[in-house]
């Protein structure tokens, strides 16, 4: 029989051993976290070519089939013979089919989902009733002038019944204002042309101010444990870190948060006017083709994760409020994904964006696709 003294000794030894192991683990993780992060080779994304019509902008190359490693996940990026990030499809519309053409930038194109089926366009099509067919005309880097061009030159040939403009509020006002020549192609990748920015944007709106949203300070037990490398690692494993930010609007035209400033600058108002004119042109083209237009606003990560809706110099409702006002005035169906995404995050704590990228993860695409399908069924049905 083990004596009480021996039991106490064994318990003390176990406690000492566990403490020593935790201390060693904490030290090892701190040393690991203190190392500068390694940077692997950037993937070569030879995706784009000049618009063959010579009317401006650019297009996805047809017949692509690439496999990329994005955040440890294998992503297949493929285009059909029409240069769409989508399955093969024919221009003539089958009898009895209602087509939904989606215009947009890299969010619509599907950066970086494992396949076209998992983009929000693919999920939307899956959730729509039988007889609906989706078409994805998204191209990374597009603004609304690019989208109007591809609508007139390509998408309308497929006889869509509903055209959805999926507008990313982080940079679509910027990209529309900068025009069709805002980017140059380098090795099949679109790169923002600094000279175009300098020419189009006043110097007062180009300060490299370095203003960015920051993670919310932890509270309660999390605050007490925040200095522990082990705790931080567990948070990452549980996918619970970085889900709250203190929103800070930048005064720099090219930053996403610039568009949520409560007092827009003159050039921001000019960009708003240019964007609404582009929407009117897209509506004119869809009306002439007998189709209906709908607009979906895609929020930024910081908007979804901001602790407060408004602050001294920002309003998360901008620039979405500009779009909503235009849509109501024009009678255009409009869906703002910001409120449902904020509500979903508050209720579930589920991450909808990639960790080191501005785009949605697969769950974000699924959430958006399901919400858009429901909106189409109730509010944006084709004529």
pLDDT digits (tens, 9 = 90+) for 244-257: 999 999 999 999 99
Q: 164 in a domain, yes or no?
A: yes
Phi, psi of 11 (to 5 degrees): -65, -40
Q: Report the C-alpha dihedral over residues 272, 276, 281, 282, rounded to 10 degrees.
A: 110
- Counting the structural domains of the chain, the total is 1
Q: 8 in a domain, yes or no?
A: no
Q: 21 in a domain, yes or no?
A: no
The mean pLDDT of the chain is 88
Containing domain of residue 286, as a range? 48-212+248-378
In Å, how far are 249, 338, 367 from 216, measured between CA atoms? 15, 19, 25
Q: 37 in a domain, yes or no?
A: no
Q: 2 in a domain, yes or no?
A: no
Q: 108 in a domain, yes or no?
A: yes
Max mean pLDDT among 63-77, 127-141, 219-233 falls in 127-141
Q: 191 in a domain, yes or no?
A: yes
- pLDDT (tens digit per residue) in 320-336: 999 999 999 999 999 99
| Residue 115 scores a pLDDT above 80 | yes
Max mean pLDDT among 8-12, 20-24, 69-73, 126-130 falls in 126-130
Q: Taking the model in full, what pTM does it have?
A: 0.86
- Cβ 82 vs Cβ 62: under 8 Å: yes
Q: What is the CATH number of the domain that holds 299?
A: 3.40.50.1110
Q: 177 in a domain, yes or no?
A: yes
- pLDDT (tens digit per residue) in 256-304: 999 999 999 999 999 999 999 999 999 999 999 999 999 999 999 999 9
């Amino acid at each position: 029989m083990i004596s009480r003294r021996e039991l106490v000794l064994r318990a003390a030894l176990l406690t000492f051993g566990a403490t020593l192991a935790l201390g060693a683990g904490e030290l090892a993780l701190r040393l690991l976290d203190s190392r500068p992060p390694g940077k692997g080779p950037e993937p070569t994304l030879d995706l784009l070519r000049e618009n063959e019509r010579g009317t401006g902008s650019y297009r996805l190359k047809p017949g692509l089939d690439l496999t990329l490693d994005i955040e440890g996940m294998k992503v297949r990026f493929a285009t059909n013979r029409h240069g769409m990030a989508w399955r093969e499809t024919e221009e003539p519309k089958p009898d009895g089919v209602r087509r939904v053409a989606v215009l947009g930038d890299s969010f619509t194109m599907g950066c970086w989902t494992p396949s076209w089926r998992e983009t929000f366009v693919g999920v939307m099509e899956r959730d729509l009733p039988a007889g609906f067919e989706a078409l994805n005309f998204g191209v990374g880097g597009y603004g609304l002038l690019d989208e109007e061009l591809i609508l007139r030159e390509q998408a309308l040939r497929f006889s869509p019944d509903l055209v959805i403009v999926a507008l990313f509020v982080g940079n679509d006002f910027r990209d529309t204002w900068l025009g069709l020549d805002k980017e140059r192609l380098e090795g099949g990748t679109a790169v923002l042309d600094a000279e175009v920015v300098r020419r189009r944007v006043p110097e007062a709106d180009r300060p490299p101010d370095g203003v960015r949203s920051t993670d919310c300070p932890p509270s309660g037990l999390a605050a007490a444990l925040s200095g522990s490398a082990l705790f931080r690692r567990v948070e990452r494993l549980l996918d619970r870190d970085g889900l709250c930010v203190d929103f800070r609007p930048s005064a720099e035209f090219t930053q996403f948060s610039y568009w949520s400033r409560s007092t827009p600058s003159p050039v921001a108002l000019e960009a708003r006017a240019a964007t609404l004119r582009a929407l009117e042109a897209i509506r004119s083209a869809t009306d002439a083709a007998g189709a209906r237009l709908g607009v979906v606003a895609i929020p930024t990560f910081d908007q979804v994760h901001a602790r407060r809706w408004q602050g001294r110099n920002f309003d998360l409702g901008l620039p979405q409020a500009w779009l909503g006002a235009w849509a109501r005035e024009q009678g255009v169906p409009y869906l703002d994904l910001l409120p449902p995404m904020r509500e979903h995050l508050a209720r579930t704590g589920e991450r909808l964006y990639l960790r080191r990228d501005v785009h949605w993860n697969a769950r974000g695409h699924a959430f958006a696709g399901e919400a858009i399908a429901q909106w189409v069924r109730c509010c944006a049905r084709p004529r």
